[in-house]
Amino acid sequence: MNLTIKDTFNTELPADHLKENTRRQVMQACFSFVTPKSTSKPGIVHASKELARDLGLTENDLKSEEFKNIFTGNSILPDTNPYAMCYGGHQFGNWAGQLGDGRAINLFEVNHNNKQWALQLKGAGETPYSRTADGLAVLRSSIREYLCSEAMYHLGVPTTRALSLALTGDQVLRDVLYNGNPEYEKGAVVCRVAPTFLRFGNFEIFSARQDKKTLKTLSDYTIRHFFPHLKEGTKEGYLDFFREVTNSTLDMIIHWQRVGFVHGVMNTDNMSILGLTIDYGPYGWLEGYEEGWTPNTTDRQYKRYRYGNQINIGLWNLYQLANALFPLIEDAKPLEAILKEYLENYATKYLSMMKSKIGLFKPDGNDPELLARLESNLQLTETDMTIFFRNLSHIAKDSPTNDNFLAPVWDAFYVQEEVKGHILEKWKLWFTDYKSRLQKESISDGERAEKMNKVNPKYVLRNYMAQLAIDGADKGDHTLINEFFQLLKHPYQEQSTAEKWFAKRPEWARHKVGCSMLSCSS
């Protein structure tokens, strides 16, 4: 492998002075040097050729013993120094203190075509930040992360990427539902890729410890490498940095809402400083459109991270980042002004996004009310989000609202017998008003459908699909991993051989573990 290694994080930032890999509080350091754990029988299950090319790797590299050994943690590339990052975070609204890379080990940074990438193994063994855990990951969660990272990228959602998925040959003990029934599962490792894996929590930990020196060093490093157009080392630069993080976080969440993605664990240690979707744990895709849905069993009672609350949690998390950066700025008012902009920009951007989903492009003061009624109607009965919005493009602006008016979106209703009486009347009224509104648009039905189909995916990684891939892989069959990987490269395109995946969640998956609710267990 001929990679251009250009490490910055572990050469420009302060390191943990202790070298032994023991659980501890790490002070005045941004990271600890760590060696990945060797595995008994490593094997690559799948690798992304496209991402490999972006890093400067060839297809032959992906088939090599060297690739297998490095990206399963069994060997280290010469002249590199793997490390785990130190950070803190608010978990479910409460300060959790030091957290850090408990099962992630950063291998090195690569520079290719003037782009900088950090490569990280998830599940490669314990670190000083593993607390009581083993630092390992299982095949189940690793498949979900690998497939979803790349699926989100092709959906146009800001995200970390995934280069490879590998089996370790080892067994890992996990309690899937935290109900006292642990079982052994296949161990696995994913190589994650991003310009940086810095999170809100990297800044919070130093502010919480009143370590202004390290906070400033980290902030200056971040601006220098990832926001080079800003003024490093100045209050103005720190404020501009916060504004850019605020804007990119908002854009990311708007994209989540657009495609029906629910992160599930929006703790501040899971919030990327670049506005990337990071840490694919108990995420889920809305199947029945429900603003109150969360995929996380840990969040079942309070639903803090439910679909309809993600935008508010984004703001709450940004408040914590503002508090963390305050020692460098020492003025709350400009920070508060940026946070206020978030809410103002949200109203505008969310409206624009939702209008694009239903094919409205000209300004109209009645659009917010039309969209609010739509979101209310979608929750009258269980209605598949992906199918509804994709098939809405089949509606013609001059089609009559007769007895068959719901035909284009009929497949989206899970219990079609319930769409009657007052529910049917509400839909009839909405479609009547929607078609009247379409009359104000100057583009043709065909042009509108084309635009809608660019923002409303036909294929997403539905929870049951991921579970089918997991069930197959548990038996040694990786066919569906590859099938879904290829399918989700083109989520907005018609794929005649894949129509069976453009369908409602099957009834058997409604309450099946892995298809409806998931835990943070990996």
Mean pLDDT of 62-72: 97
Same domain, 347 and 444: no
Return d(Cα 204, Cα 504) in angstroms, integer.
Answer: 42
Report residue 521's pLDDT band, with 50, 70 and 90 as the boundaries.
low
Three-class SS state of 208: helix
pLDDT above 90: residue 515? no
My answer on whether 343 and 366 are in the same domain is: no
Per-residue model confidence as pLDDT tens digits over 79-126: 999 999 999 999 999 999 999 999 999 999 999 999 999 999 999 999
Which among 54, 238, 231, 83 has a CA at the least distance from the CA of 150?
A: 54
**Which pLDDT band holds residue 493 (cuts at 50, 70, 90)?**
very high
Mean pLDDT of 468-476: 97
Find how far residue 56's CA is from the centre of its chain: 25
Instruction: Count CB atoms within 10 A of the CB of residue 95.
Output: 12
Co-location of 171 and 213 in the same domain: no
Share of the chain above pLDDT 90, in %: 94
Domain count of the chain?
A: 3
User: 265-319 pLDDT, tens per residue?
Assistant: 999 999 999 999 999 999 999 999 999 999 998 898 999 999 999 999 999 999 9
Please indicate, yes or no, if residue 176 is contained in any of the structural domains. yes
180: pLDDT confidence band, cut at 50, 70 and 90? confident
**439 has a pLDDT exceeding 60:** yes
- Split at pLDDT 50, 70, 90, the class of 401 is confident
Q: Residue 270 sits in which domain range?
A: 206-356
Mark whether 153 and 261 lie in a shared domain. no
**Which of 321, 337, 356 is at the close of a domain?**
356
Question: Are 171 and 230 in a shared domain?
Answer: no
Predicted confidence at residue 429, as pLDDT, reads: 97
Same-domain check for residues 41 and 186: yes
How does pLDDT run across 223-272, given as a tens digit for each residue? 999 999 999 999 999 999 999 999 999 999 999 999 999 999 999 999 99
pLDDT at 53 over 60: yes
pLDDT computed for residue 519 by the predictor: 66
Q: Which of 101, 269, 279, 384 is catalytic?
A: 269
Residues 471 and 498 in one domain: yes
Name 161's bridge partners: 193
Would the pLDDT of 211 be above 70?
A: yes
179 with 274, same domain?
no
The answer on 306 and 233 residing in a single domain is yes
Contact 89, 96 (CB under 8 A): yes
Query: Given a cut of 80, is residue 353 above it in pLDDT?
Result: yes
Residues 150 and 244 reside in one and the same domain: no
Grade residue 514 by pLDDT with cuts at 50, 70 and 90: confident
Is 1 inside any structural domain?
Answer: no
Residues 242, 275, single domain; the answer is yes
3-state secondary structure 33-98: ECCCCCCCCCEEEEECHHHHHHHCCCHHHHCCHHHHHHCCCCCCCCCCCCEEECCEEEECCEEEEE
Mean pLDDT of the chain: 96
Note whether residue 3 is domain-resident. no
Q: Which of 197, 222, 244 is the last residue before a domain boundary?
A: 197
Which residue do the tokens 């067994």 mark? 171
Write down the pLDDT at residue 520: 64
337 and 451: one domain? no
269 an active-site residue?
yes
